[in-house]
Structure 1
Amino acid sequence: MDEIDWKILQQLKKQARLTNKEMGQMIHMSGQGVGQRISNLIDQKVIERFTIEIKNEKKQIILVYLNEATYQSFEQAILAFEEVIEFYQVSGESCYTIIASFEAEKLNQFIAVISKYGRYKVNTIMNKLR
C-alpha cells in the first residue's frame, strides 16, 4: 500500500458514498484509477467489506473474563443477541470484547447470560469523538 491507497481508505472511511470520480477529484486521480485501486485493495483483503454505521444512542463496550474454556458455548450464547454489533476474542486483559447497543432491560438479560460464564465489565460510551 502506498500513500494514494491510504488517501483512498481515509476518504472511504469519511464518506463511503462518494463516487470514484468524486474521490478521484479530491486526491487528483481519475475515477477509473480510483476504482482500480479500490478493487486491488479488496483483492488484497485490505478492504473486507463495505458497511454503514447506525447511530446508537446507547452503546457499550463489554469485557468478559471466562472462568473456564467454554469458548464455543459462550460464543453461541452471545451471537443470539441481535444487539451485539461486534464480537472479538482477544488476548490481553480479557478473553472477549463485545461492542453492543443494549437498552437497559435487554442489557440486564445479557448480563444474566454472560454471568454464567465468568466476570465482566460494562463500559457505556458517552460521546463518539471521531
Structure 2
Amino acid sequence: MTFIPDQIDMCIMDILQEDARTTNKEIASRLGKSVTSIFERVKRLEAEGYILRYIAVLNKHKLGKNLVAYTSVTLKEHGHDRLLSFEQKINSFPEVMECYKMNGQFDYLLKVLVADMEAYEVFNLTKLSRLDNIYKIRSLFVLSETKHEVELNLKTNWQAKLVPKNK
C-alpha cells in the first residue's frame, strides 16, 4: 500500500521546512497532538522519502560566493554510458550546485556558484571544458536575485488551524 501524507503530515513538513530545528515537542504543541505521535509521523515521513535531509541555509555572499552562473551544456554523444559519465563528473565538481538533464536546445543546465568571474573562468577552463564529451557551453550570469525559495509551498486552508509559533 502506498503511503500518502495526510494534512497533519503536510503541516509537520511545512513546520520543518520553516525551521528544521523545531522539536517534536514544539510541533506537537502547535498541532495539538502528542509528542509520540509526532515522532512516529516524522520517522515515517523520513522512511518514506518525503523528508530527505535537514540542512541549514547559508548566506552565499557572506561566504564569498557572489557569482551565480546558469550554464547550458550540449554534448557530442548521447549514449547512455556517455550521459552517465558526464553526470558523474559534473556531480563531483563542488562549484556545481544543481544539474538538470534537459530536452530542447541543450542537454544539461548547471547552476554554478563561485566567488567571481575569475573563479568562473578557472572552473570553465580547468574543469568543465576539459570534459571529453563537451560540444558547446553557454553561460548566463545572474545580476541580482529577486526571489530565492528553498521551501515547497504546502500551505492550504488547514494551515489556519495551527497554533501560532511562539516568537
* TM-based fold match above 0.5: yes
**Does the CA contact (< 8 Å) of 1:61 and 1:125 recur in 2?**
no
1:110 is aligned to: 123
Length-normalised TM-score, structure 2: 0.64
Structural RMSD (CA) = 2.4
Length-normalised TM-score, structure 1: 0.78
Percent of matched pairs sharing the same residue:
26
Query: Is it true that 1:31 corresponds to 2:49 in the alignment?
Result: no
The count of aligned residue pairs is: 129
Larger relative CO (CA 8 A, sep 6+): 1 or 2?
2
Query: Is it true that 1:100 corresponds to 2:108 in the alignment?
Result: no
- 1:48 Cα deviation (Å)? 1.9
Once the two structures are superposed, the pairs formed by residues 72-87 of structure 1 within 5 Å of their partners are 72-87=84-99
1:3–1:62 CA distance, 2 compared to 1 (3 A): farther
Q: Can you give the 5+ residue segments of structure 2 that lack an aligned partner in the other structure? A: 150-167
- 1:18 Cα deviation (Å)? 0.7
**Cα deviation 1:74-107 (Å, max 9, x = unaligned):** 334423422222333x243442232332122221
1:11 is aligned to: 15
**Does the CA contact (< 8 Å) of 2:95 and 2:113 recur in 1?**
yes
1:21 is aligned to: 25
> Counterparts of 2:138 and 2:92 in 1: how far apart (Å)?
18
Q: Which has the larger radius of gyration?
A: 2
The more displaced of 40-49 and 107-116 is 107-116
> Counterparts of 1:48 and 1:2 in 2: how far apart (Å)?
18
2:140 is aligned to: 122
Structure 1 counterpart SS, 2:9: helix
Structure 2 counterpart SS, 1:86: strand
